[in-house]
Amino acid sequence: MENSPSKQQGWGCIMSSDEVQLDESWLQDYNDAMQALNHNEELIQQRQEERKMPYEHRDNTYGLFVNRFKKDGDKQPDFRGDALIDGKEKKIAGWKKKDKNGNTFISGVFEDPQDSAKRFPSKKASGSDPFEMD
Protein backbone atom coordinates (compact mmCIF):
# COMPACT_ATOMS: atom_id res chain seq x y z
CA MET A 1 0.00 0.00 0.00
CA GLU A 2 1.32 3.44 -0.83
CA ASN A 3 1.77 6.20 1.69
CA SER A 4 0.12 8.94 -0.31
CA PRO A 5 -3.06 10.21 1.34
CA SER A 6 -5.00 10.27 -1.85
CA LYS A 7 -4.74 6.49 -2.24
CA GLN A 8 -5.57 5.52 1.37
CA GLN A 9 -9.05 5.26 2.78
CA GLY A 10 -10.01 7.22 5.88
CA TRP A 11 -7.49 9.98 5.32
CA GLY A 12 -9.04 13.33 4.88
CA CYS A 13 -12.16 14.83 6.33
CA ILE A 14 -15.22 16.14 4.64
CA MET A 15 -17.54 18.29 6.76
CA SER A 16 -20.79 19.89 5.84
CA SER A 17 -21.39 23.59 6.48
CA ASP A 18 -23.78 22.67 9.36
CA GLU A 19 -20.99 20.79 11.11
CA VAL A 20 -18.61 23.74 10.66
CA GLN A 21 -21.18 26.10 12.20
CA LEU A 22 -21.63 23.66 15.08
CA ASP A 23 -17.87 23.69 15.68
CA GLU A 24 -17.85 27.49 15.58
CA SER A 25 -20.61 27.67 18.21
CA TRP A 26 -18.67 25.22 20.39
CA LEU A 27 -15.61 27.44 20.06
CA GLN A 28 -17.67 30.50 21.02
CA ASP A 29 -19.07 28.63 24.07
CA TYR A 30 -15.52 27.66 25.03
CA ASN A 31 -14.31 31.27 24.69
CA ASP A 32 -17.25 32.50 26.79
CA ALA A 33 -16.48 29.93 29.49
CA MET A 34 -12.81 30.95 29.54
CA GLN A 35 -13.73 34.63 29.86
CA ALA A 36 -16.05 33.81 32.76
CA LEU A 37 -13.31 31.77 34.43
CA ASN A 38 -10.79 34.59 34.02
CA HIS A 39 -13.32 37.08 35.40
CA ASN A 40 -13.91 34.89 38.46
CA GLU A 41 -10.16 34.57 39.04
CA GLU A 42 -9.81 38.36 38.85
CA LEU A 43 -12.62 38.78 41.41
CA ILE A 44 -10.97 36.30 43.78
CA GLN A 45 -7.62 38.08 43.47
CA GLN A 46 -9.28 41.46 44.05
CA ARG A 47 -10.99 40.18 47.22
CA GLN A 48 -7.70 38.79 48.52
CA GLU A 49 -5.97 42.12 47.91
CA GLU A 50 -8.79 43.95 49.71
CA ARG A 51 -8.25 41.75 52.76
CA LYS A 52 -4.58 42.70 52.81
CA MET A 53 -5.36 46.38 53.11
CA PRO A 54 -4.73 47.77 56.60
CA TYR A 55 -7.74 48.66 58.68
CA GLU A 56 -8.33 52.39 58.91
CA HIS A 57 -10.18 53.71 61.94
CA ARG A 58 -12.95 56.22 61.73
CA ASP A 59 -12.43 59.28 63.88
CA ASN A 60 -12.75 58.69 67.64
CA THR A 61 -12.59 54.90 67.40
CA TYR A 62 -10.01 52.35 68.51
CA GLY A 63 -9.05 48.70 68.26
CA LEU A 64 -7.67 46.84 71.26
CA PHE A 65 -6.15 43.36 71.07
CA VAL A 66 -4.75 40.85 73.53
CA ASN A 67 -0.97 41.23 73.88
CA ARG A 68 0.17 37.74 72.83
CA PHE A 69 3.79 38.51 73.70
CA LYS A 70 3.23 39.23 77.37
CA LYS A 71 4.70 36.72 79.80
CA ASP A 72 3.24 35.95 83.22
CA GLY A 73 4.27 38.50 85.82
CA ASP A 74 5.52 40.86 83.12
CA LYS A 75 4.74 44.57 83.49
CA GLN A 76 3.80 44.88 79.84
CA PRO A 77 0.16 45.64 79.04
CA ASP A 78 -2.43 42.89 78.71
CA PHE A 79 -3.86 44.67 75.66
CA ARG A 80 -2.39 46.80 72.87
CA GLY A 81 -4.01 48.70 70.06
CA ASP A 82 -4.35 51.90 68.13
CA ALA A 83 -6.88 54.68 67.80
CA LEU A 84 -7.79 57.74 65.79
CA ILE A 85 -8.73 60.56 68.15
CA ASP A 86 -9.65 63.94 66.68
CA GLY A 87 -7.82 62.97 63.49
CA LYS A 88 -4.59 62.01 65.29
CA GLU A 89 -3.18 58.49 65.54
CA LYS A 90 -2.64 57.18 69.06
CA LYS A 91 -1.27 53.96 70.53
CA ILE A 92 -3.23 52.30 73.32
CA ALA A 93 -2.09 50.04 76.13
CA GLY A 94 -4.41 48.44 78.68
CA TRP A 95 -4.01 46.39 81.84
CA LYS A 96 -6.60 44.07 83.41
CA LYS A 97 -7.21 45.10 87.00
CA LYS A 98 -9.69 44.48 89.80
CA ASP A 99 -11.38 47.11 91.92
CA LYS A 100 -11.93 46.82 95.67
CA ASN A 101 -15.20 44.91 95.06
CA GLY A 102 -13.47 42.34 92.83
CA ASN A 103 -14.90 43.67 89.57
CA THR A 104 -12.54 43.35 86.61
CA PHE A 105 -11.83 46.44 84.51
CA ILE A 106 -9.25 47.70 82.05
CA SER A 107 -7.00 50.63 82.87
CA GLY A 108 -5.12 52.14 79.97
CA VAL A 109 -3.11 54.92 78.40
CA PHE A 110 -3.13 56.69 75.06
CA GLU A 111 0.22 57.81 73.63
CA ASP A 112 1.48 59.34 70.43
CA PRO A 113 3.02 56.75 68.12
CA GLN A 114 6.81 56.66 68.08
CA ASP A 115 8.77 57.32 64.94
CA SER A 116 10.92 54.46 63.65
CA ALA A 117 14.13 55.92 65.14
CA LYS A 118 12.59 55.78 68.62
CA ARG A 119 10.93 52.39 68.03
CA PHE A 120 14.19 50.75 67.06
CA PRO A 121 16.90 52.46 69.11
CA SER A 122 20.56 51.77 68.49
CA LYS A 123 22.34 49.29 70.77
CA LYS A 124 24.00 52.17 72.65
CA ALA A 125 20.69 53.58 73.88
CA SER A 126 18.92 51.58 76.55
CA GLY A 127 15.27 51.78 75.64
CA SER A 128 12.40 50.46 77.67
CA ASP A 129 8.87 49.61 76.72
CA PRO A 130 6.92 52.92 76.70
CA PHE A 131 3.88 51.07 78.04
CA GLU A 132 5.69 49.32 80.87
CA MET A 133 4.35 50.24 84.30
CA ASP A 134 6.43 50.31 87.45
pLDDT digits (tens, 9 = 90+) for 42-70: 888 877 766 655 667 788 888 899 999 88
Q: How much is the pTM?
A: 0.46
Identify whether residues 46 and 66 lie together within a single domain: no
Q: Is residue 133 part of a domain?
A: no
8 compared with 81, residue with greater pLDDT: 81
Instruction: Show the domain range for 101.
Output: 61-114
Q: In the sheet that 61-66 helps form, which strands lie side by side, from edge to edge?
A: 61-66, 79-85, 88-98, 104-111
Identify whether residues 31 and 66 lie together within a single domain: no
The Cα–Cα gap between 21 and 119 comes to 70
Q: Model confidence over 100-124: pLDDT tens digits? A: 999 999 999 999 988 766 656 665 5
CA distances from 1 to 6, 9, 10, 11, 61 (A): 12, 11, 14, 14, 88
The Cα–Cα gap between 82 and 71 comes to 21
Identify whether residues 74 and 110 lie together within a single domain: yes
Identify whether residues 43 and 71 lie together within a single domain: no
Q: Is residue 123 part of a domain?
A: no
Identify whether residues 32 and 72 lie together within a single domain: no
Q: Is residue 107 part of a domain?
A: yes
| Total residues belonging to the chain | 134
